[in-house]
Amino acid sequence: MRRSTVVLQRVGKGEPLTPPKAREMLAEILDSVRSDAPIPFTHRDAERALAALLSTEEMWEAVRLSRVPMRFLCAFWSRLEEKDLLAVQDGRLSLTEAGRELASNLCIAPAWEASCDSCEGRGVDFARLPREVVERFREISRGRPEALQVYDQGYVTEETTLARVAFALARGDLSGKEILVIGDDDLVSVAAALTGAPSRVLVVDIDDRLIRFIREVARVEGLDMLEATRYDIRDPLPHEWRGRFDTFLCDPTESFAGFCAFIERGLLAVRGVGSAGYFGLTHAESSLEKWAQIQRFLLESGAVITDIREDFNSYVTWGYVETMRAWSWLPIRVRPDRPWYFSSLFRIELLRPPSVENRRFEGNIFADEEAATV
């Protein structure tokens, strides 16, 4: 059960809440949330979660707008409910009068969005790609294999993949370049190859279904530069791929070890100074502490971060949503009816030969305390 046995003091009836008391109450709630969600989060994460609850009663919209780890979010909701600050009824989440009073005394305003409708906030217009590329990609995507939980898969919308390719093309990372795609349920290799820009696109993936699918696309579409082969990210990068590419793209699992596995392989696979890498990183499964840890790792590895575009990657809800780890934490167990899982697109560029090792990873590298989807 979500409810813990610790019962917090309720807001006393008739006692007027003041800003100092509200801050004290929030601090107390967060202290108790820490026992349920042993991950780093700040009062600012709580502010974001409250701002989301002020602007929507739909649970998945609240997840999306909160931009905090689900592990924290669900534990926080649970404590709010215990304190009668949040009501869960008729499939909706709504702050009670006391909850609104708390938010008001914390000076929290409803979450407000300013994303451009035309490009869904990405800043990139994929329609600048040749129309044939867009149409062929959409057609090909219809036959894609479904996402599998065992490989922590979950693919992005077609618009996302096309925008990612347009973005990489605009950054000069595809034309005339050799590209490595590490794990490709997003089919970014296919969209990249369809542009005709790269001289080589190699997909490495553990999933035989994807390898067969991409090879078949390459054959049918006559994309000679597109190859796919099996590779388990836990194995050291084979010698023949080391220092052979210009750009790598991936969408790593977000445990820190899993993330490092993907990025280390990518950095070892590229030629060195001036080579670029792309990956996604979420708030739903990564605290800002982990973001900072990842950023330190990237800089120490010899890379600079050139771009971070929030919500660039919009994911199609995977079939296994009811068996994902976060499902049991949710106050309302309904499937999402719209995109709710987003990630920021990062681009990095190497400034010196990468200082990472080609180590072997053992065991389950997919999950950590912050994981929600595996």
The only residue of 72, 126, 278, 329 in contact with a second copy, by rule CB under 8 A: 126
- Helix (H) or strand (E) holding 114, with range, is none
DSSP string covering 264-291, please? HHHHHHB-STT-EEEEEE-SSS--HHHH
Using CB under 8 A, count the residues that bind a second copy: 60
CA distance linking residue 85 with residue 34, whole number of Å: 18
Q: Are 74 and 372 in contact (CB under 8 A)?
A: no
CB atoms within 10 A of CB 241: 17
Provide the 8-state DSSP code for 365. Answer: -
Q: How far is the CB of 203 from a second copy (least distance, A)?
A: 21
Residue 20 in the binding site for a second copy (CB under 8 A): no
CB of 350 to a second copy, least distance (A): 9
Binding to a second copy (CB under 8 A) within 47-66 occurs at 47-48, 51
Q: How far is the CB of 119 from a second copy (least distance, A)?
A: 4
CB of 102 to a second copy, least distance (A): 13
B/e letters for 92-127, b = 16+ CB within 10 Å, e = fewer, are ebebbebbbbbbebbebeebeeeeeeebbbbebebe
Q: How far apart are CA 291 and CA 306, in angstroms?
A: 15
Min separation Cβ 7 and a second copy, Å: 27
Helix (H, G, I), strand (E, B) or coil at 307: strand
Q: Which of residues 223-282 bind a second copy (CB under 8 A)?
A: 273-275
Question: How many residues comprise the chain?
Answer: 374
Q: Is 122 in the site for a second copy (CB under 8 A)?
A: yes
Examine residue 44 and tell whether it contacts a second copy (CB under 8 A).
yes
Segment near a second copy (CB under 8 A); pick from 46-54, 251-259, 325-333, 366-374: 46-54
Work out whether strand 303-314 and strand 342-350 pair parallel, antiparallel, or are unpaired.
antiparallel
Instruction: Identify the residue among 28, 57, 227, 307 touching a second copy (CB under 8 A).
Output: 307
Nearer to a second copy, 4 or 55 (CB): 55
When asked if residue 355 is in the footprint of a second copy (CB under 8 A), the reply is no
* Tokens encoding 103: 């938010």
* Nearer to a second copy (CB atom), residue 85 or residue 348: 348
- The least CB distance from residue 253 to a second copy, in Å, is 20
Q: Is 157 in the site for a second copy (CB under 8 A)?
A: no
Binding residue for a second copy (CB under 8 A) from 308, 327, 331, 336?
308
Neighbour-count burial for 170-188, b at 16+ CB within 10 Å, e otherwise: eeebbeebbbbbbbbbbbb
Contact residues toward a second copy (CB under 8 A) are 40, 42-45, 47-48, 51, 107-109, 111-119, 121-126, 128-129, 163, 166-167, 169-170, 172, 175-177, 197, 199, 273-275, 288-289, 291-292, 295-296, 299, 303-310, 344, 349, 351
